[in-house]
């Protein structure tokens, strides 16, 4: 009934306002982007887009990965092993074979610097670039960044190449027209058009996920190619598609230009990335944590650990702080903070807005270099590895039935059993009720409780008193900070009802 009424109303409106209807149709037609605009734009941009071809040498080594698996000592195991070895000998030591693959790229500097995806040239022995005029040139890899899946190549030419201009991906709006140019299925330079379908997509590709989603047709071989706006500026690097068939179904993803551009600049200048580093381990703020943290809603990035000697510690940031803004830019999620810090130049001093027990404060932090910090941490880890003897612990346990776990003091025996370092303070979880609230929050035996409700824990009596205070205050959740394998995190555990 509603559909027929609406249809009659539309017909009446059309009949009464025919001129207006024609005007509206004219406006809609203009929104489709005249063919001449795309033709002129494509003609201008095609010379800056290249095909990237790679070759990789595969050596036939050992037994195949798909050899059937049998229990050790089984006669079938020896039979199949002998069979495959005879087969390989019969092939006369099959020589190494070369595998070719194709992708796309675009020129960002007239001197011959070209951007593509890291996965396009990963493990390649040789890389060649084919220009729009079919000139083929050998390329060397200047630098790669697997984190954002970007690589920079360099070709040598006598004449300057046609380079593109970067656009501002932060200004993109859903529904804007886009143009994708690349080399799908090795066909050569191909142009497709579409719109921005969404922004800020997280497809679990890495910690810096912030993809642009587009319905412009992107297929195999488009990887590394540019995504343009209507001004002919690169606003993304086509990197991935969602497809069950391998072909385009209108769901493609591109690395935003504002994320890629500083990475490209660093790869050209240093041959590697130099990302900003704050020196904190963070986790998401959940709805269950809001009350305990004194927040109005779930937002920001919760600091689970402050790296000793790092920028955050020097700035006065503490474990339990919630970072809500960096350098004036609001931080809504942990991914947002990770990206913002990484994009900030090393050595820059920024304002960090934090909420500490519900109260806002601003501190200044001078960012360090992530890569240097990771290398230092790895060296310390390798230097400190040691396996001591294990002995059976004695127990002096306290039952926390409201949370569904038992705790005990950190004795020497328990430290040895659970590999807990001497400088870790708190109480250790010795048993977890599999049907209790703590188990549902993935609390495990061997976890060390170092804080309850953002207050330091020294012994089991502290924990008992803190839990009693929370229950007396009608709190429904106890916010625990635990440490597991040297890594702290906050866990909201609801009280048993």
CATH number of the domain residue 141 falls in? 2.40.10.120
The 3-state DSSP class for residue 267 equals helix
Average pLDDT of the chain? 82
Please check whether residue 191 lies inside any domain of the structure. Answer: yes
**DSSP letter (8 states) at residue 79:** H
Nearest to 151 by CA among 162, 139, 159: 139
Q: Does residue 159 lie in a domain region?
A: no
Give the model confidence (pLDDT) of 52-85 as tens digits: 999 877 655 554 555 555 444 444 455 555 655 5
124 with 171, same domain? no
Cβ count within 10 A of residue 320: 22
* Residues spanned by the domain of 131: 47-154
State which of 322, 355, 370 marks the end of a domain. Answer: 370
Active-site residue set: 119, 149, 223
> Using the 8-state DSSP alphabet, how is residue 496 labeled?
P
Residue appearing with tokens 């305990």: 292
Q: Assess whether 51 and 150 both reside in one domain.
A: yes
Bridge-based pairing of strands 233-241 and 165-166 is parallel
From 120, 154, 188, give the residue that closes a domain. 154
Show the beta-strand stretches assigned E in 167-251.
177-182, 190-201, 211-214, 226-228, 233-241
Instruction: Tell whether 207 is covered by a domain.
Output: yes
Is 282 inside a domain boundary? yes
pLDDT digits (tens, 9 = 90+) for 192-227: 999 999 998 888 777 788 899 999 988 888 899 999
pLDDT band at residue 293, thresholds of 50, 70 and 90? confident
Lowest mean pLDDT among 5-9, 174-178, 338-342: 5-9
| 389 part of a folded domain | no
Q: Is there a contact between 134 and 188 (Cβ–Cβ < 8 Å)? A: no
Q: Is 243 domain-assigned?
A: yes
| Short-list 296, 300, 285, 325, CA closest to 490 | 285
CATH of the domain at 176: 2.40.10.10
Domain identity same for 190 and 227: yes
Is residue 448 helix, strand or coil?
A: strand
Query: Do both 224 and 282 map to the same domain?
Result: no
Q: Give the chain's domain count.
A: 4
Query: Computed over its alpha carbons, how large is the radius of gyration of the chain?
Result: 29
Indicate whether 234 and 323 sit together in one domain: no
| pLDDT confidence tier of residue 391, bands split at 50, 70 and 90 | very low
Helices 2-16 and 18-31, axial angle in degrees (round to 10): 100
In the numeric block, the tokens 């020294």 are attached to: 458
Domain identity same for 169 and 263: yes
Average pLDDT (296-304) is 91
**CATH value at residue 304:** 2.30.42.10
Instruction: Indicate whether 52 and 150 sit together in one domain.
Output: yes
Say if residue 10's pLDDT is above 50: no
End residue of a domain, out of 333, 353, 370: 370
Find where tokens 């190549």 sit. 153
- For residue 17, being part of any structural domain is answered with no
Residue 314 lies in a domain: yes
């Amino acid at each position: 009934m509603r559909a027929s009424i609406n249809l009659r109303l539309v017909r009446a409106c059309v009949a009464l306002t025919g001129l207006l209807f024609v005007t509206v149709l004219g406006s809609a037609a203009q929104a489709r982007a005249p063919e001449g605009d795309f033709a002129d734009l494509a003609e201008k941009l095609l010379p800056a887009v290249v095909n990237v071809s790679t070759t990789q040498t595969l050596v036939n080594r050992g037994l195949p990965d798909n050899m059937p698996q049998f229990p050790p000592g089984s006669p079938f195991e020896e039979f199949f092993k002998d069979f495959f070895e005879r087969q390989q000998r019969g092939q006369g030591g099959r020589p190494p074979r070369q595998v070719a693959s194709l992708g796309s790229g675009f020129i960002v500097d007239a001197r011959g610097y070209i951007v593509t995806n890291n996965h396009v040239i990963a493990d390649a022995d040789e890389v060649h670039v084919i220009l729009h005029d079919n000139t083929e040139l050998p390329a060397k890899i200047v630098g790669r960044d697997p984190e954002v899946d970007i690589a920079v190549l360099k070709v040598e030419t006598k004449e300057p190449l046609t380079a593109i201009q970067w656009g501002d991906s932060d200004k993109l709006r859903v529904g804007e027209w886009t143009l994708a140019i690349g080399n799908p299925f090795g066909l050569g330079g191909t142009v497709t058009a579409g719109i921005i379908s969404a922004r800020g997509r997280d497809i679990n590709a890495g910690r810096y996920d912030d993809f642009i989603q587009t319905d412009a047709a992107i297929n195999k071989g488009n990887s590394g190619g540019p995504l343009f706006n209507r001004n002919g500026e690169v606003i993304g690097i086509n990197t991935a598609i969602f497809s069950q068939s391998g072909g385009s179904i209108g769901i493609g993803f591109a690395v935003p230009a504002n994320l890629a551009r500083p990475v490209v600049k660093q790869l050209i200048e240093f041959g590697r990335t130099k990302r900003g580093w704050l020196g904190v381990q963070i986790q998401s703020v959940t709805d269950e944590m809001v009350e305990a943290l004194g927040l109005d809603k779930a937002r920001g990035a919760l600091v689970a650990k402050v790296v000793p000697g790092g920028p955050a510690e020097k700035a006065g940031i503490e474990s339990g702080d919630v970072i809500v803004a960096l350098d004036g830019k609001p931080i809504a999620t942990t991914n947002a903070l990770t990206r913002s810090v990484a994009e900030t130049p090393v050595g820059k001093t920024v304002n960090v807005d934090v909420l500490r027990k519900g109260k806002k404060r601003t501190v200044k932090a001078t960012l360090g270099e992530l890569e240097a910090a990771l290398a230092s941490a790895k060296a310390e880890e390798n230097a400190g590895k040691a396996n001591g003897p294990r002995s059976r612990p004695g127990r002096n346990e306290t039952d926390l039935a409201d949370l569904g776990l038992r705790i005990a003091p950190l004795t020497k025996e328990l430290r040895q059993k659970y590999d807990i370092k001497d400088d870790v303070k708190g109480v250790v979880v010795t048993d977890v009720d599999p049907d209790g609230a703590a188990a549902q929050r993935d609390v495990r035996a061997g976890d060390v409780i170092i804080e309850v409700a953002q207050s330091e824990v020294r012994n089991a009596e502290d924990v008992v008193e803190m839990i009693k205070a929370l229950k007396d205050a009608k709190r429904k959740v106890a916010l625990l900070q635990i440490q597991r394998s040297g890594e702290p995190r906050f866990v909201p555990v609801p009280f048993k009802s």
